[in-house]
Structure 1
Amino acid sequence: MNLSFRQLQTFVEVMRVGSVSEAGRSLGRTQPAVSAMISGLEKEIGFPLFERDRGRLVAKPEAHYFLEEAEFVLERLSQSTRTLHDIGNLQEGKLRIACNPAASSIFMPKVLGMFLKDKPNVEASLMMRSSPVVVDWVASQQYDVGLAESPNARKTVQAEKYSLPCMCALPAGDPLLEKDVLTPADLDNLPMALLYDDHTITQQCRKAFAEAGARLNQRFELRTFAPTLRLVSQGLCYTICETLSAISHAEGLGHENHIEYRPFKPEMSLNMSVLTPANRPLSMLAAEFTKLLKEQVAGLQDPARMNT
């Protein structure tokens, strides 16, 4: 059986108006075309739906039974058409996003909010884990897009890398703010807050201080920069951090953000990557979100934003 949309549409309209000629007018078709469509439908299903009485079609009981099914099919087709239209216009679907802690509280929700502000029917899953876990999630196709510290090359992940510059974070009003650029010598034996030993910024800090012959006084060891910057804002220490953490901290605290920044020499940076699965294409929705995310991450490469 090979029923067509037009056959069902014509049948439902004939049943609704009770006349072939009226159905033709409402459908914009000729009366012979409507009659031929009904005849073709009856031929496909194998039994008559109407009796012919002096040029009129009189619905048989089977037609009334079939009407409910035909209306259901047409409504489902109409709904599917609307859904596909919404999907094509990025108004339907679900985003699955994973990011590391630095991006989870302020940056990624902000980007997601920008993207979804005119898409009330789009759902989103936003999960935070360590960078290695984010990479694994994207590689296994559990998530559409991820943001994490740049991983080693993997065949299962496409990674677009961004180099986020680091600066020195100081308590507001600190005497060192008189300097335009800070060096390890300026921070010699002053209390510092660093992340765990394996973190790339911590390693860069240790190398810079050692090469300058300056003493690195690590007062605090932390897992992320969010608590680190709070300690700096309380005047307890200094730290070297990248733009993502600095901007997120500033936006989260607003007027209570008592931190200022100065460039640090030698230059240091943190490589972050926008990650997508390599073995399957993105949905249109995920592709558009990824495009916006890349634009926003690219903006973090400007160190001037840390003092805005």
Structure 2
Amino acid sequence: MRARQLEVFCAVMRAGTVTAAARDLNISQPALSQILLHTEDELGLTLFERIKGRLHATEIAHELYPEAERVFAGLEALRRHAIDLRDGRVGLVRMAASAPPAMSFLPDAIAEFRQDYSSVALRSHIAPVASMTQMVLSGDISIAVSLSDAAHPSLNIEKLGEVPMVCILNEGHRLTAHKEMTLSDLADETLISYRANTLPGHRLMRVAQKEGIEFSPEIEVDASISVLPFVQNGLGVAVVDGLMPWHSFPGIAVRRFLPETQLPVTILTNREHQLSPAHEGLLAAIRKSFKNKVAQL
């Protein structure tokens, strides 16, 4: 399967229809359909069945798709790296982080890194944990900073430490009179927090079970920063990580959450890739900055 055929196959599998895939790739539907037909002819496999004018992926297509996405991600990473080389950006550090590290201790780490590596370009992303894991594995980034310590056979996971979860409320909420909060205290409130299948969600579920109550947020989020407009507008009370600089946002009150529930802060790197001196310099700055941040919490 050639690169263009791989791109078209993945696009159709993602989009679900030829129309949407052609729009995503900015090509005509007939051209896309022709590429699919040539792909099937060359492979000797039926990837899609045409039923009542619509394309339906076969079991073979579903079997090939995960590997096709992995290979395509690798090709995309190679293409971007080639562009960096072409543009003379050989000294390039690529990293990503979830929002809490990116908005708390990473700016200080990057400032220190830039003092020692001013000629090295830095490419930074904010991304969810699942995306960062795939980006590290594909080589699109070399360093990820996350709030997850989930093991992966191809990743080095360095635990920097832990941060507590906190309760955040609208500054006019009646519960701001409390210095500390438990889930039981929030039983009559609209709870805003993480989905149950996330690491923070799992930890809060265990807390709820010990208190003999159910952890069932009425408003679920994937990223803690998403709770901000809800709380500011008085739509509920949130239990989230304490790493975000919540005190810097207007209209927000922060209270200690009990029992103390910690979340890990980790650095993810690829076991198979040797880091450059610049990347190692950034890691050193990240460790130092996190240590300073934790001392302030």
Report the TM-score when normalising by structure 1: 0.58
Aligned to 1:180: 179
Alpha-carbon separation, structure 2, partners of 1:103 and 1:181:
24
SS in structure 2 at match of 1:186: helix
Alpha-carbon separation, structure 2, partners of 1:281 and 1:215:
45
Aligned to 2:258: 265
Q: Aligned pair 1:293/2:286, yes or no?
A: yes
Alpha-carbon separation, structure 1, partners of 2:135 and 2:235:
37
Q: CA shift at 1:286, angstroms?
A: 1.0
Aligned pairs (5 A) from 1:104-123: 104=102, 108-109=106-107, 111-116=109-114, 119-123=117-121
Kindly indicate whether the alpha-carbon contact (under 8 Å) linking 1:101 and 1:224 is maintained by their aligned counterparts in 2: yes
- C-alpha distance 216-154 of structure 1, shift in aligned 2 (>3 A): closer
- C-alpha distance 218-163 of structure 1, shift in aligned 2 (>3 A): same
How many corresponding residue pairs?
207
Aligned pairs (5 A) from 1:127-146: 127-146=125-144
Q: CA shift at 1:140, angstroms?
A: 4.0
Report the TM-score when normalising by structure 2: 0.60
Unaligned runs of at least 5 residues, structure 1: 1-91
Aligned pairs (5 A) from 1:169-208: 169-208=168-207
Alpha-carbon separation, structure 1, partners of 2:153 and 2:187:
44
What one-letter code is carried by the residue in structure 2 that aligns with 1:191? T
Alpha-carbon separation, structure 2, partners of 1:151 and 1:280:
20
Kindly indicate whether the alpha-carbon contact (under 8 Å) linking 2:105 and 2:293 is maintained by their aligned counterparts in 1: no
Bigger-Rg structure (1/2): 1
Cα deviation 1:175-216 (Å, max 9, x = unaligned): 323323222221122111122231222233333234323465
Q: Aligned pair 1:278/2:271, yes or no?
A: yes
SS in structure 2 at match of 1:218: coil
Kindly indicate whether the alpha-carbon contact (under 8 Å) linking 1:171 and 1:260 is maintained by their aligned counterparts in 2: yes
Cα deviation 1:93-137 (Å, max 9, x = unaligned): 211112224444665455324422565422111123321221232
Q: CA shift at 1:279, angstroms?
A: 2.7
Cα deviation 1:44-95 (Å, max 9, x = unaligned): xxxxxxxxxxxxxxxxxxxxxxxxxxxxxxxxxxxxxxxxxxxxxxxx9211
Alpha-carbon separation, structure 1, partners of 2:292 and 2:225:
20
Q: From 78, 91, 94, give the equivalent of 1:93.
A: 91
Unaligned runs of at least 5 residues, structure 2: 1-89
Identity among equivalent pairs (%)? 19
What one-letter code is carried by the residue in structure 1 that aligns with 2:224? F
What one-letter code is carried by the residue in structure 2 that aligns with 1:261? V
